[in-house]
């Protein structure tokens, strides 16, 4: 187990601080443009339920990134 702490690599199925920082950075990079489109649609008068599909895309991206981090070696 000491090998993991020195290399800052989490074992499979666990997420450490470094992984959380990387996920937060990915969240900002990939979710921000989608949220801009979402709020732009709301500002343009698109119904909330129709614009919600765009926000759902952002949520799927976050979930996919989290699952990828858990499954990585």
Total domains, the chain: 1
Q: What is the overall mean pLDDT for the chain?
A: 78
Q: Residue 27 has what pLDDT? A: 82
Q: What is the pLDDT of residues 25-39, one digit of tens each?
A: 888 888 888 889 889
Rounded mean pLDDT of 10-30?
Answer: 76
Query: Looking at residues 54-63, what average pLDDT do you find?
Result: 84
Which range, of 11-15, 28-32, 43-47, averages the lowest pLDDT? 11-15
Q: Which residue has the tokens 């290399």?
A: 7
Domain of 35, in residue numbers? 2-71
């Amino acid at each position: 187990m000491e090998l993991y702490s020195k290399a800052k690599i989490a074992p499979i199925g666990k997420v450490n601080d470094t992984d959380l920082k990387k996920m937060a950075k990915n969240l900002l990079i990939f979710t921000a443009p989608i949220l801009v489109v979402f709020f732009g649609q709301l500002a343009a008068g698109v119904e909330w339920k129709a614009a919600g599909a765009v926000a759902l895309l952002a949520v799927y991206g976050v979930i996919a990134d989290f699952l990828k981090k858990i499954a990585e070696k």
